Amino acid sequence: MPMVTVRPYSQAIDRLRSAGLRPTRQRLALARLLFDGCDRHISAEQLHSEALTSNIRVSLATVYNTLHQFTDAGLLREIVVDAGRSYFDTNTGDHHHFFYEKSGRLCDIPAEMVGLTKLPEAPAGFNISRVEVIVRVDG
């Protein structure tokens, strides 16, 4: 087993490259903010201000573009629960969500915590692309 050093930069570069995205300074910085820690649900504005706080000079427009590029590339999943605000989920695996109605916060529910035993068939000519379970809680 070879000695391994953590190399966040090259990890992020590889991630972008395999997604077919040029590893520009902005995309790299945003990727590290998004993927270097634990899973998160983040809005464009939040990510933008985190970037500024971390001294990463990036425009809000670029944050939006980047989030959509990452989503199209399968690196993120977009979640809409609240009118007029999109969240981007760094967890693209099979799972569900708690939604805290007052605070607007989201929280993951692992797929195995939900028993879905019956589902209707997709309408003729359509395919089910995803089944989302949202458990709304009143706080």
Partner DNA sequence: GTGTTTGCAAAGTGTTTGCAATTTA
Partner DNA sequence: TAAATTGCAAACACTTTGCAAACAC
107 binds a copy of itself (CB under 8 A): yes
User: DSSP per residue over 69-109, as a string?
Assistant: HHHHTTS-EEEEEETTEEEEES--SSEEEEEETTT--EEEE
Nearer Cβ to DNA (39/45): 45
CA–CA distance, 109 with 93 (Å, rounded to integer): 11
Least distance in angstroms from the C-beta of 57 to DNA: 5
Q: Min. distance of Cβ 28 from DNA in angstroms?
A: 8
Q: Is the distance from CB of 80 to CB of 86 less than 8 angstroms? A: yes
Binding site for DNA (CB under 7 A): 21-27, 43-45, 57-62, 64-66, 68, 83-86
Binding site for a copy of itself (CB under 8 A): 78, 80-86, 98, 100-101, 107, 109, 113-120, 122-123, 125-139
